[in-house]
């Protein structure tokens, strides 16, 4: 400011000096010179202001205007402020983009609704859950797009914060998909709608209930038998022979419960423990010998008067191999396959157990029996816990319904495959195939 005043005073002094040298009257000339230079100063200052105003109006802050004189400080300040504002806007825009990207990556659906329940924005997960389009359905009423009666009632009643479960659009009876929706308020009358696919959770809950029911049923039956025999022994006078018969039946039922509990513990351990290390090696011959002994012992126990024909064959190349993984788990899988064949093959039937190395280098443990066979519709479900084709037959033989479920888990934990083939009236074949990378030559 002081500099501007000094320049003006100097300019007027020069005007008066020059004007006094021109003309006949020095005083009038000096006044004219001062007036001329003052008007020129005012015009030039107005010119600079006009350029500055035009620059501000055009908002061309990237290009600094020239010839603005002392107003350059103002221009520099405006440029700096604009540059700072641009940086802040870019940062805010980047944060918003990152936030939206995070919501897009969320496994849960997110919909933003206005005060009329029209869609303002949604992520792709929500679009997939509700069968809507992120582009063409913007500003559409959510109630017109999701026509489920439960959801319509939920919106009418505005049960904010509560959860409503609907069938996903396009669900079929054989493969239903369930979506959980929750509505929340935010901002000035707006709504936040969250969606979540709970199909697997619902299936897990059904499996849990079925599992508890099956376990309760399997344990209740032998407990009922035991309680009945105990009450009989306590209240009635029985002969020594009858007492011995009752105790034998009680022993069988207690062994059945013990087997069930052991299988449950094995299955729980398989589902909850880490995958076996590949650094643990076990001789296949050791596992084979133990499996062969258990197969023949079980057959003799179940059919002492008319034993089954059990043949066990092992390839010469397998005898020199070690297996990488859990010794106990593989033995459990092998013995479960063999015991299933023994239990479901009638007396005098034939069972063939083979352990060979295939041409591809895969180890195959195969159990073939001459039992009643399995209908094709049952085969996909055989590895489900407690699933049985013939419940009465399994109870007679002492099966728990968990053996093939254990085999399936062992196979998954060792990168192996379980193959099941069967034909009604001609028997079944169960094959456990272990990849070559889990084998080594001694």
List, in order, residues 6 or more apart from 302 with CB less than 8 Å away.
342, 343, 347, 397
Q: Give dist(CA 113, CA 111) in Å, integer.
A: 6
Q: How far apart are CA 147 and CA 45, in angstroms?
A: 70
Q: pLDDT band for position 435 (50/70/90)?
A: very high
CA distance 150 to 132: 18
Q: What was the pLDDT predicted at 45?
A: 67
The neighbour count for residue 223, using CB atoms within 10 Å, is 13
- Tell me the pLDDT band of 218, cut-offs 50, 70 and 90: confident
Does residue 249 carry a pLDDT above 70?
A: yes
Q: What is the mean pLDDT of residues 227-255?
A: 85
Q: Which residues of 245-254 are buried (b: 16+ CB within 10 A; e: fewer)?
A: ebeeebeebe
Integer Cα distance of 363 and 437 in angstroms: 10
Confidence at residue 352, expressed as pLDDT on a 0 to 100 scale: 92
- What pLDDT shows up at residue 96? 72
* Listed residue (231, 136, 142, 207) closest to 181, CA to CA: 142
Q: Please, which residues bridge with residue 184 across strands?
A: 192
Reported pTM: 0.57
Which residues, listed in sequence order, are joined to residue 367 by a DSSP beta bridge?
A: 353, 430
128: its two tokens: 């997939």
pLDDT surpassing 90 at residue 366: yes
Taking only the tens place, the pLDDT of each residue in 52-75 is 667 666 666 666 656 555 556 666
Q: Which domains does the chain have, with CATH numbers?
A: 2-98 (no CATH), 106-197 (3.30.450.20), 203-273 (1.10.287.130), 276-441 (3.30.565.10)
* Average pLDDT over all residues of the chain: 81
Arithmetic mean of pLDDT, 228-236: 86
Give the mean model confidence (pLDDT) for residues 203-214: 78
- Element of type H or E holding 203: helix 199-235
Region of poorest pLDDT, from 150-154, 267-271, 429-433? 267-271
> pLDDT band at residue 7, thresholds of 50, 70 and 90?
low
Does residue 98 carry a pLDDT above 60?
A: yes
Which residue's structure tokens are 């696919």? 197
Contact 397, 302 (CB under 8 A): yes
CA angle 247, 250, 252 (to 5 degrees): 115
What pLDDT does 195 receive? 92
Q: What is the DSSP string of 239-293?
A: -HHHHHHHHHHHHHHHHHHHHHHHHHHHHHHHHHSPPPPTT-EEEHHHHHHHHHH
Least confident range from 6-20, 39-53, 313-327, 413-427: namely: 6-20
Confidence band for 201, pLDDT divided at 50, 70 and 90:
confident
CB atoms within 10 A of CB 441: 7
Identify whether the C-beta of residue 177 lies closer than 8 Å to the C-beta of residue 168: yes
The average pLDDT across 253-268 equals 82
Q: Backbone phi, then psi, for 418, in 5-degree steps? A: -110, 125
Confidence bin at 297 (pLDDT 50/70/90)? confident
Tell me: the pLDDT tens digits for 385-430?
A: 777 776 555 445 556 778 888 899 999 999 899 999 998 888 999 9
Q: Tell me, what's the pLDDT at 429?
A: 93
- pLDDT above 70 for 190: yes
10 Å Cβ neighbour count for 308?
22
pLDDT for the residue numbered 365: 93
pLDDT at 320 over 80: yes
DSSP state of 378: G
How much is the pLDDT for 10? 67
> Is pLDDT above 60 for 440?
yes
Per-residue confidence band for 271, with pLDDT thresholds at 50, 70 and 90: confident
Q: Where are the alpha helices (DSSP H) in 60-145?
A: 72-105, 124-130, 142-145
């Amino acid at each position: 400011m002081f500099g501007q005043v000094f320049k003006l005073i100097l300019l007027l002094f020069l005007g008066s000096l020059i004007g006094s040298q021109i003309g006949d009257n020095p005083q009038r000339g000096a006044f004219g010179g001062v007036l001329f230079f003052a008007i020129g100063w005012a015009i030039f200052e107005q010119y600079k202001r006009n350029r500055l105003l035009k620059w501000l109006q055009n908002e061309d802050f990237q290009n600094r205007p020239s010839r603005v004189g002392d107003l350059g400080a103002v221009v520099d300040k405006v440029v700096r402020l604009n540059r700072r504002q641009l940086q802040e806007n870019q940062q805010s825009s980047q944060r918003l983009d990152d936030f939206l990207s995070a919501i897009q990556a969320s496994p849960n659906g997110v919909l933003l609704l206005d005060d009329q329940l029209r869609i303002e924005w949604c992520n792709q997960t929500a679009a997939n859950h509700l069968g809507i389009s992120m582009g063409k359905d913007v500003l559409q009423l959510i109630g017109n797009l999701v026509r489920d009666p439960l959801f319509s009632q939920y919106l009418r009643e505005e049960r904010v914060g509560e959860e409503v479960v609907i069938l996903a659009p396009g669900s079929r009876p054989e493969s239903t998909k369930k979506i959980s929706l929750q509505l929340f308020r935010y901002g000035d009358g707006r709504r936040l709608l969250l969606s979540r696919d709970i199909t697997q959770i619902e299936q897990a809950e059904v499996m849990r209930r079925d599992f508890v029911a099956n376990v309760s049923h399997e344990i209740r039956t032998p407990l009922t038998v035991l309680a009945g025999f105990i009450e009989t022994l306590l209240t009635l006078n029985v002969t020594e022979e009858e007492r011995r018969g009752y105790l034998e039946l009680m022993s069988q039922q207690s062994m059945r419960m013990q087997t069930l509990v052991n299988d449950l513990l094995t299955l729980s351990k398989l589902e909850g423990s880490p995958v076996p290390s590949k650094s643990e090696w076990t001789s296949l011959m050791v596992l084979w010998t133990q499996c062969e002994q258990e197969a023949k012992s079980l057959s003799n126990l179940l059919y002492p008067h008319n034993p089954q024909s059990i043949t066990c064959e092992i390839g010469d190349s397998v005898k020199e191999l070690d297996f990488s993984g859990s010794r106990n788990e593989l033995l459990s899988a092998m013995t479960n396959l063999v015991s299933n064949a023994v239990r479901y093959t009638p007396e005098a039937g034939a069972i063939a157990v083979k352990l060979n190395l295939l041409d591809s280098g895969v180890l195959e443990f195969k159990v073939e029996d001459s039992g009643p066979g399995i209908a094709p519709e049952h085969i996909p479900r055989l590895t489900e816990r407690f699933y049985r084709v013939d419940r009465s037959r399994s109870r007679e033989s002492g099966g728990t319904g968990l053996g093939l479920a254990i085999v399936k888990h062992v196979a998954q934990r060792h990168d192996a495959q379980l193959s099941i083939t069967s034909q009604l009236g001609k028997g079944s074949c169960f094959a456990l195939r272990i990849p070559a990378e889990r084998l080594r030559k001694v």
